[in-house]
């Protein structure tokens, strides 16, 4: 027997679950497909190595979806300052929440915390159904719907299918949408560390020859690190014993947080610049990493994905309220225009920054450092960058501005 839904979202991570939540709050009959049931309960230690820096815009979206209280209960960490400096020169940037209208610049949150809170909300929404385990093995476009066949033989169909199934999206490949991009030949090494000095609820980032090293504050006093290294160096650092790794990390940090005392499990993931050539097809759309993958040096990947989720949900709900068919390509084209340009601008900015800080020629290093100090001393310019980094930009979806879209 075939199950029919208005919308099927494939991928139950942060972006997919947020999309399904928003749609269901708007009265859309939606199914969320995920290969595994996410964790909902776990001991307080150890901290997950997968942590995201959520902007104010992302916080607004998650508050409007009703997920933020569940996240706060499980644990979020506000950061109030951000300090960025160049290891090869005297360039420095300091962003302070005191220069804004907010008591923090953003929050550090374990990915599993955001996912669990969103799934808790989905459990309460009558028009949402979570289907697990569910692996899509085939997708067909019919005259009246998109049809998905699952590994267990079940057949599902919907007026619209939204793929939020990650950077290597199987649904994107099934839809025949190609990608453009390249490998950075860098890895992001992640771990949780204990440091001699307090992190002071500050996000610290030091630009090194192979890439930036970030220390992100956690509520238990530890830091989550994201260390961009050449793939070869990352492999070497993963193989070090804890003491040797801590010594290498302390040297790379420039001693800003004193001695490195302890480190938990380490992992590394390859970095890639990638965007889908199209975000849409007939009765089909891409969200989050399925549509774009960017360098993590400013932690904007998941924030861009949550804006995708809020944008497409807003347009689907508006289309339904206007009693137009969800198969209409008009709102899908609008979604692509709305989000593709913004995402490409953010991705390109991260790419340029990464390349700029990879330069080693002395004149360029000096020029780069002078530029950082100039921005740091020009309050209006720094305020603009701060505002932009917090996600408080023009042309945002309603949810990102704390306005309902249903």
Give 70-117 pLDDT, tens digit per residue: 999 999 999 999 998 888 778 888 888 888 888 899 999 999 999 999
For residue 13, give its domain range: 3-39+48-77+109-181+272-359+394-401
DSSP state of 37: P
Q: CA geometry: angle at 120 spanning 116 and 124, to 5°?
A: 165
Give the per-residue pLDDT at 135. Answer: 97
Q: What share of the chain is helix, strand, coil (3-state, %, to 5)?
A: 40, 30, 35
What do you get for the CA distance between the two ends of the chain, in Å?
31
User: Is 194 within a domain?
Assistant: no
User: Is 116 within a domain?
Assistant: yes
User: Is 149 within a domain?
Assistant: yes
pLDDT more than 70, % of the chain: 100
User: Is 328 within a domain?
Assistant: yes
User: Is 224 within a domain?
Assistant: no
**Domain of 139: which CATH number?**
3.50.50.60
User: Is 244 within a domain?
Assistant: no
The number of domains in the chain is 1
User: Is 205 within a domain?
Assistant: no
* pLDDT (average), residues 247-260: 97
Give 152-184 pLDDT, tens digit per residue: 999 999 999 999 999 999 999 999 999 999 999
Q: Residue 1: pLDDT above 90?
A: no
User: Is 299 within a domain?
Assistant: yes
Give 21-69 pLDDT, tens digit per residue: 999 999 999 999 999 999 999 987 788 899 999 999 999 999 999 999 9
Q: Residue 345: pLDDT above 80?
A: yes
Q: How far apart are CA 242 and CA 237, in angstroms?
A: 10
Q: How many other β-carbons are positioned within 10 Å of the β-carbon of residue 39?
A: 12
Minimum mean pLDDT range among 111-115, 150-154, 323-327, 362-366: 362-366
């Amino acid at each position: 027997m075939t199950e029919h839904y208005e919308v099927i979202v494939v991928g139950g991570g942060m972006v997919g679950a947020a999309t399904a939540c928003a749609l269901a709050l708007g009265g859309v009959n939606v199914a969320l497909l995920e290969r595994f049931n996410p964790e909902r309960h776990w001991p307080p230690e150890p901290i997950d190595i997968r942590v995201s820096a959520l902007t104010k815009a992302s916080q607004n979206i998650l508050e409007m979806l009703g997920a933020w209280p569940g996240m706060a209960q499980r644990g979020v960490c506000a950061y109030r300052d951000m300090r960025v400096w160049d290891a090869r020169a005297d360039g420095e940037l300091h962003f302070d929440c005191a220069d804004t209208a907010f008591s923090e610049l953003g929050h550090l949150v374990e990915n599993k915390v955001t996912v669990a809170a969103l799934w808790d909300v989905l459990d309460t929404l009558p028009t949402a159904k979570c289907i697990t385990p569910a692996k899509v093995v085939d997708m067909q476009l019919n005259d009246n719907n998109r049809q998905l066949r699952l590994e267990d033989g079940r057949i599902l169909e919907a007026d619209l299918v939204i793929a939020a199934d990650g950077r290597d999206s199987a649904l994107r490949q099934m839809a025949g949408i190609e990608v453009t991009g390249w490998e950075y030949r860098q890895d992001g090494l992640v771990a949780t560390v204990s440091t001699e000095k307090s992190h002071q609820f500050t996000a610290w980032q030091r630009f090194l020859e192979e890439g930036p090293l970030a220390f992100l504050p956690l509520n238990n006093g530890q830091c989550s690190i994201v260390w961009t290294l050449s793939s070869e160096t990352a492999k070497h650092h993963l193989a070090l014993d804890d003491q040797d790794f801590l010594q290498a990390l302390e040297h790379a940090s420039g001693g800003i947080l004193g001695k490195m005392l302890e480190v938990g499990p380490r992992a590394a993931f390859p970095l890639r610049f990638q965007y889908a050539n199209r975000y849409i097809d007939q009765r089909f759309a891409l969200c989050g990493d399925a549509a774009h993958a960017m360098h993590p040096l400013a932690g904007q990947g998941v924030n861009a994905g949550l804006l995708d989720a809020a944008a497409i949900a807003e347009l689907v709900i508006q289309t339904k309220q206007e009693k137009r068919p969800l198969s209409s390509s008009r709102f899908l084209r609008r979604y692509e225009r709305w989000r593709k340009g913004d995402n490409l601008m953010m991705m390109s900015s991260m790419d340029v920054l990464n390349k700029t800080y990879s330069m080693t020629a002395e004149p360029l290093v000096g020029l780069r450092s002078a530029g950082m100090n100039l921005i740091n001393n020009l309050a209006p310019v720094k305020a603009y960058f701060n505002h932009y980094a917090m996600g408080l930009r023009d042309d945002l979806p309603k949810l990102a501005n704390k306005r309902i879209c249903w």
